[in-house]
């Protein structure tokens, strides 16, 4: 049942603006105070977690406050999670308190590289008892995106409820997003996980997965990201993302995708990693933000990686604040500059606001963006940069600046002589 105090809780967002429904578990993550095996850990810190909850919170931080359908126990842990979700900008219409079940718990252990493992305590907990009728068709008619994950597919009746709502969302022309989020310890057998993933992918338009998810689902692939992406797309979605931790991510879309057929990679961003819990969920939120904003798949991948990187800089899945300013900063700090002698330039062409540089240097064979030209050196950036919308006439100076900059500061500009550029 729903907690009786829900009606008196103030709404934190304008519910009429919710265009996204996220559904799934919210759990208590117990984070260790130091790396090591669980058997050797004495002190834990309570944090809010659960992959769908993390996605919902990150979407809210990115300006897309979603509906969030979840279930927690009518206990102290459930009250803590409910308050945390409200404090992070989520409305509580579909935050359900179950007075006959407990809140799910997860104990996390870290190695020295901040990679983590989970030990779940969720036998017949509130998050295993979803009822699809909680979400009326009117809500699915109002939203455009529905997001769910694999943990709630591990047991009934939650599995049937999740797949039922996802199917109804598909019938309402929503974009359905699925994250397998493999947790082998929650499943009775690998075959069961395989079957559930294939059922979900048959409904989903977009899938976000890891190599571990793909292996756990028994999907044929090899270590090359393009074959893994192909394998995911063969299951039904038109767009697939694969995340590789600190090695970045890759994405591929078919002709059926609204953003068109393409395949892209991004090497990620370098940060001081404290805890990787929730990084994949932040990646998914950043990716959805990019796609909703109409960014290209390459730009979306960059935004998703930046969002994920920020969340690894503090303990807990929700503790690091994601903001546009933080995203801009991490992308600006990560610019890599490559000095390229002019005599190595084979071709420099301009088409509309895009510049393509071709080089004799193999590792710099083609960069589709450039930042500045000097007399003896061409500086090429690994970040997407664009020319101004209006190209000045010959003899003028013009500026190149990062496309993601909302405001232009003196430090973000590089003046270039147009005559000099045209003579290369």
DSSP 292-316: HTT--HHHHHHHHHHHHHHHTTSSS
Query: What's the pLDDT at 327?
Result: 86
Render pLDDT for 269-298 as a digit per residue (tens, 0 to 9).
Answer: 888 888 788 899 999 999 999 999 999 998
Chain mean position to CA 327: 13
Mean pLDDT within 399-421: 31
**In the chain, where are the structural domains located?**
4-333, 337-422
CATH code: domain 4-333 is: 3.40.1190.20
**CA distance linking residue 47 with residue 49, whole number of Å:** 6
For residues 267 and 294, give the distance between their C-alpha atoms in angstroms, rounded to a whole number. 22
Which band of pLDDT confidence, cut at 50, 70 and 90, is reported for residue 402?
very low
When mean pLDDT is compared across 30-44, 125-139, 144-158, 376-390, the lowest value belongs to 376-390
Arithmetic mean of pLDDT, 106-135? 83
Asked whether residue 99 carries a pLDDT value surpassing 60, the answer given is yes
Going by pLDDT thresholds of 50, 70 and 90, the confidence category of residue 332 is low
What's the rounded Cα separation, in Å, for the pair 25 and 196? 17
The per-residue pLDDT for 225 is 63
Q: What does each C-alpha distance from 91 to 30, 83, 97, 162, 349 come to in angstroms?
A: 25, 11, 14, 20, 50
Bridge partners (DSSP) listed for residue 308: none
CA distance 152 to 156: 8
Please report which confidence band the pLDDT of residue 151 belongs to, taking 50, 70 and 90 as the band edges.
Answer: very high
Q: What is the pLDDT of residue 349?
A: 42
The secondary structure element, H or E, covering residue 46 is: strand 44-49
Strand 345-351 relative to strand 354-359, pairing: antiparallel
Q: Dig out the tokens for 205 from the structure.
A: 């338009």
Mean of the per-residue pLDDT values of the chain: 76
Among the listed residues 356, 291, 286, the one whose alpha carbon sits nearest the alpha carbon of residue 324: 286
pLDDT score at 230: 92
**pLDDT band for position 17 (cuts 50, 70, 90):** low
Between 401 and 101, where is the model more confident? 101
CB 65 within 8 A of CB 17: yes
Q: pLDDT tens for residues 186-209?
A: 898 989 999 999 999 999 999 999
How many angstroms separate the CA atoms of 324 and 282, rounded?
13
Residue 334, SS3 per DSSP:
coil
Under the banding of pLDDT at 50, 70 and 90, the label for residue 321 is confident
Angle between helices 51-61 and 76-87 (to 10 degrees): 30
Is the pLDDT assigned to residue 347 strictly greater than 80? no
Q: Where residue 115 falls among pLDDT bands split at 50, 70, 90? A: low
């Amino acid at each position: 049942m729903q907690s009786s105090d829900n009606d008196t809780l103030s709404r934190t967002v304008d519910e009429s603006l919710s265009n996204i429904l996220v559904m799934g578990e919210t759990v208590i993550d117990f984070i260790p105070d130091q790396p090591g095996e669980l058997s050797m850990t004495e002190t834990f810190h309570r944090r809010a977690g659960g992959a769908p909850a993390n996605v919902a919170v990150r979407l809210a931080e990115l300006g897309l406050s979603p509906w969030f359908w979840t279930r927690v126990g009518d206990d102290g842990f459930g009250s803590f999670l409910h308050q945390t979700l409200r404090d992070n900008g989520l409305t509580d219409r579909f935050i359900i308190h179950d007075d006959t079940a407990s809140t799910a718990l997860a104990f996390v252990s870290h190695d020295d590289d901040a990679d983590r493992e989970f030990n779940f305590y969720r036998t017949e907990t509130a998050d295993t008892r979803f009822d699809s009728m909680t979400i009326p068709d009117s809500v699915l008619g109002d939203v455009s995106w529905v997001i769910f994950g694999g943990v709630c597919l591990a047991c009934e009746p939650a599995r049937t409820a999740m797949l039922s709502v996802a199917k109804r969302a598909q019938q309402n022309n929503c974009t359905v997003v699925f994250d397998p989020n493999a947790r082998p310890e929650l499943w009775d057998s690998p075959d069961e996980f395989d079957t559930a993933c294939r059922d979900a992918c048959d409904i989903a338009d977009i899938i976000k997965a890891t190599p571990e998810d793909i292996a756990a689902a028994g999907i044929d692939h090899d270590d090359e990201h393009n074959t893994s992406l192909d394998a995911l797309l063969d299951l039904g979605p038109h767009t697939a993302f694969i995340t590789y931790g600190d090695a970045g991510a890759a994405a591929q879309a078919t002709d059926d995708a609204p953003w068109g057929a393409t395949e892209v990679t991004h090497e990620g961003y370098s940060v001081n990693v404290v805890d990787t819990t929730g990084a994949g969920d932040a990646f998914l939120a950043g990716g959805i933000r990019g796609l909703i904003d109409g960014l290209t798949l390459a730009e979306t991948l960059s935004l998703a990686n930046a969002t994920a990187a920020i969340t690894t800089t503090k303990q807990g899945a929700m503790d690091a604040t994601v903001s546009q300013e933080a995203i801009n900063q991490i992308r600006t700090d990560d610019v890599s500059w490559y000095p390229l002698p002019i005599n190595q330039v084979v071709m420099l062409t301009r088409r509309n606001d895009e510049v393509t540089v071709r080089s004799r240097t193999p590792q710099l064979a083609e960069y589709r963006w450039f930042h500045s030209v000097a007399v003896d050196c061409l500086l090429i950036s690994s970040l997407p940069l664009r020319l101004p919308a209006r190209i000045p006439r010959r003899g003028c100076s013009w500026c190149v600046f990062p496309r993601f900059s909302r405001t232009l500061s003196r430090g973000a500009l590089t003046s270039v002589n147009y005559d000099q550029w045209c003579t290369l």
